[in-house]
């Protein structure tokens, strides 16, 4: 999704604006631009495509100055084009960058046209630029104009505005989309996330909903939604720059797949010991609250939703508590009936996904027992707005296709299932087995990663395919869904995940010699059922690609078979997912797609 960078300093900021945009490329975008106030006034450069296209434009027509704003756009209103790229301008010196969606833009556009403003783009953002200029023309200073303009906006926004009339400051505002303030001794910054600013500072202020901030090179001032000056806490970030660099790997996605043994170990660090899940890992007082839970409602989007689907099986099997998992964009528009003592759980890598956040806000108005977030980004909106939090500790995930975030979510959710089960009479022996399973994960994932070369070879069979089916049963049904999602996201092959038992209710009609069918076969209670489904595929000439527990390899028949180490019930879905990540990765590389930034997709979906 869109990215914002703003810098005010006593030196040329153009290079750092571009560097900031590059650090935000991972969010997904289709055009980029920047505006700078130089001696002769405000000027901007924009380009459709990548930040490097913008950079080329800047080389041809340089722009330099001590204050500027920059943006990567992910189209919502209006096609990806230079005309629709940000910054948008008004008058001869006001420019604005914006993330989010303004829902009442039509109404505001009509109003602004009647007072003489002309529109040049199809974006909702241009409305904000003209609205601010309108208030500046009426005599407001930039801060006041932004405060008044934002009061008129319905929807979600993070904006930064800059005006030639006040060439020393930037004014930012947020509601519904994140905006972070970066502090330094003699320069200050604004950005949509800290990655853009890590080379410049480690000191950040996470702005609250409705905040408006004014920054100059020598100072900052934050105002809350009522316009009252407030102090927000300054946080020191411990992110290392290495964590956001690709190192020896060709793609971030490959790096992140290989980081999984360590990320999962980090998720478990300090949370299990002596064969037990430690008390208090959900925060003080949380264990008592969790003991009261009689139902669980999980809400998430995309890959995080698939983690929730796996957790549903675990929570019901281990704790005996009814659990539902639902996609946030569906849940938030339902009228859910909340059973007594229901725990509301959100799962999100970014903690900023618009639908998940909206679902959490809706849940706050209903009678849930408590709201727990399983999240990877400290200080994200989801974390700040939840009652309880379990951080997944995957570290920064840059590839749009989520990999290590998913493994760590599963690991964290397994801790939740065990914690809930502990209060429901989980036997010592089963508790110890679950913990042993969790402890085995880093080693088992490492073994799964050793299949890399064999999977690379297997990937060649997919390169010319148009479609693929992924099958699994039980906790491996969501793994089939996730395998299909990975393949479609980055290779653009149409792929569907199915519970293997549903094969004969539809997808079997698609199976012939041209249809690759991928199945995950751990050694669990559903194995025999899965084997029958494999025979149904073979009988129709379908090409089978099997990932099987090596202890049951013999009974699996012919096909392309790769063996995985035997895994316990909790470890299996986490481990069997790894070869599917590698498969998607290698198919995408062979097809020459943009692995880390697949077309049309975004990392952090901050709009509905």
Q: Which residue ranges make up the site for ligand G6P (CB under 6 A)?
A: 301-304, 348-350, 353, 356, 400, 402, 601, 603-605
State the alpha helices, DSSP H only, in 65-209. Answer: 105-114, 125-137, 142-152
Q: Smallest distance, Å, CB 397 to ligand G6P? A: 8
Q: Which of 22, 48, 50, 603 is catalytic?
A: 603
User: Based on CB atoms, which residue is closest to ligand G6P, 301 or 526?
Assistant: 301
Distance of CA 154 to the CA centre of its chain: 24
User: Based on CB atoms, which residue is closest to ligand G6P, 7 or 301?
Assistant: 301
Q: Which of 2, 375, 434, 567 is catalytic?
A: 2
Q: Compute the radius of gyration of the chain from its Cα atoms.
A: 25
Secondary structure (3-state) at 348: strand
Q: Is the peptide bond before 35 cis (omega within 30 degrees of 0)?
A: no
User: Based on CB atoms, which residue is closest to ligand G6P, 321 or 602?
Assistant: 602
Helix, strand, coil fractions of the chain, as percent rounded to 5: 40, 25, 35
User: Based on CB atoms, which residue is closest to ligand G6P, 475 or 604?
Assistant: 604
Q: Distance between CA 174 and CA 155 in Å, rounded?
A: 11
567 flagged as catalytic: no
Q: Smallest distance, Å, CB 350 to ligand G6P? A: 3
Secondary structure (3-state) at 501: helix
User: Based on CB atoms, which residue is closest to ligand G6P, 301 or 517?
Assistant: 301
SS3 annotation, 548-602: EEHHHHHHHCCCEEEEECCCCCCHHHHHHHHHHHHHHHHHHHHHCCCCCCCCCCC
- Are the C-beta atoms of residues 601 and 301 closer than 8 Å to each other? no
Q: Smallest distance, Å, CB 480 to ligand G6P? A: 16
Q: Smallest distance, Å, CB 355 to ligand G6P? A: 8
113 flagged as catalytic: no
At CA 85, angle to CA 81 and CA 88, rounded to 5? Answer: 140
User: Based on CB atoms, which residue is closest to ligand G6P, 4 or 357?
Assistant: 357
Q: Distance between CA 586 and CA 490 in Å, rounded?
A: 10
User: Based on CB atoms, which residue is closest to ligand G6P, 27 or 271?
Assistant: 27
Phi, psi (deg, nearest 5) at residue 226: -90, 5
Distances (CA, A) of 404 to 445, 456, 470: 11, 20, 20
- Are the C-beta atoms of residues 400 and 26 closer than 8 Å to each other? yes
User: Based on CB atoms, which residue is closest to ligand G6P, 295 or 348?
Assistant: 348
State the alpha helices, DSSP H only, in 122-193. Answer: 125-137, 142-152
Q: Smallest distance, Å, CB 383 to ligand G6P? A: 12
Task: Report how many helices (DSSP H) and strands (DSSP E) the chain contains, helices first.
Answer: 18, 27
Q: Smallest distance, Å, CB 348 to ligand G6P? A: 3
Q: Smallest distance, Å, CB 592 to ligand G6P? A: 20
Q: Smallest distance, Å, CB 27 to ligand G6P? A: 9
Task: State the DSSP string of 433-474.
Answer: HHHHHHHHHHHHHHHHHTTHHHHHHHHGGGTT-SEEEEEE-T
Positions marked active-site: 2, 603
């Amino acid at each position: 999704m869109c990215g914002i960078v703003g810098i005010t300093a006593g030196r040329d900021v153009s290079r750092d604006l571009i560097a900031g945009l590059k650090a935000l490329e991972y969010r997904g975008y289709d055009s980029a631009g920047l505006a700078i106030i130089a001696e002769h006034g405000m000027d901007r450069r924009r380009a459709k495509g990548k930040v490097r296209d913008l950079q080329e434009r800047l080389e041809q027509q340089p722009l330099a100055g001590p204050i500027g704003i920059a943006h990567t756009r992910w189209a919502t209103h209006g096609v990806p084009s230079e005309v629709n790229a940000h910054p948008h301008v008004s008058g001869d010196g006001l420019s604005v960058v914006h993330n989010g969606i303004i829902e009442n833009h039509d109404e505001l556009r009509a109003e602004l046209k009647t007072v003489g403003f002309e529109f040049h783009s199809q974006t909702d953002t241009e409305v904000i630029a003209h609205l601010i200029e309108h208030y500046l023309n009426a005599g407001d200073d930039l801060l006041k104009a932004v405060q008044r303009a934002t009061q008129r906006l319905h929807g979600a926004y993070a904006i930064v505005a800059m005006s030639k009339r006040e060439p020393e400051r930037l004014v930012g505002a947020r509601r519904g989309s994140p905006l972070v303030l970066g502090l330094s001794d003699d320069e200050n910054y604004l950005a949509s996330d800290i990655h853009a600013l890590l080379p410049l500072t480690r000191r950040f202020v996470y702005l609250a909903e409705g905040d408006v901030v004014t920054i100059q090179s020598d100072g900052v001032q934050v105002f809350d939604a009522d316009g009252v000056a407030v102090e927000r806490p300054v946080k020191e970030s411990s992110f290392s720059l290495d964590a956001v660099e690709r190192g020896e790997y060709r793609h971030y996605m490959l790096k992140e797949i290989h980081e999984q043994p360590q990320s999962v170990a980090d998720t478990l660090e300090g949370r299990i010991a002596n064969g037990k899940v430690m008390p208090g890992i959900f925060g003080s007082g949380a264990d008592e609250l969790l003991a009261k839970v009689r139902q669980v409602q999980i809400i998430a989007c995309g890959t995080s939703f698939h983690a929730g689907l796996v957790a549903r099986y675990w929570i019901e099997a281990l704790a005996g508590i009814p659990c539902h998992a639902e996609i946030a964009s569906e849940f938030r528009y339902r009228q859910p009936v909340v059973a007594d003592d229901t725990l509301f759980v959100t799962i999100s890598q970014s903690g900023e996904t618009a639908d998940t956040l909206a679902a959490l806000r809706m849940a706050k108005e209903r009678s849930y027992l408590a709201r727990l977030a399983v999240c990877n980004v400290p200080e994200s909106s989801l974390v700040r707005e939840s009652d309880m939090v379990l951080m997944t500790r995957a570290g920064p995930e840059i590839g749009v296709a989520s990999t290590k975030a998913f493994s760590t979510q599963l690991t964290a959710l397994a801790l939740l299932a065990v914690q809930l089960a502990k209060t429901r009479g989980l036997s010592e022996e089963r508790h110890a087995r679950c913990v042993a399973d969790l402890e085995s994960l880093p080693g088992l994932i490492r073994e799964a990663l050793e299949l890399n070369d064999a999977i690379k070879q297997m990937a060649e069979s997919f390169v010319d395919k148009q479609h693929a089916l992924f099958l699994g049963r039980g906790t491996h049904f969501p793994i089939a869904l996730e395998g299909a999602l990975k393949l479609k996201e980055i290779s653009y092959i149409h792929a569907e995940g199915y519970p293997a038992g549903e094969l004969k209710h539809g997808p079997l009609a698609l199976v012939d010699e041209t249809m690759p069918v991928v199945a995950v076969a751990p050694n669990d209670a559903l194995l025999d059922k899965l084997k029958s489904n494999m025979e149904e595929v073979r009988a129709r000439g379908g090409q089978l690609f099997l990932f099987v527990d090596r202890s049951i390899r013999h009974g699996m028949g012919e096909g392309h078979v790769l063996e995985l180490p035997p895994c316990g019930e909790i470890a299996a879905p986490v481990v069997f997912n790894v070869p599917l990540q590698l498969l998607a990765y290698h198919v995408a590389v062979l097809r020459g797609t943009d692995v880390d930034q697949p077309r049309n997709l975004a990392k952090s979906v901050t709009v509905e």
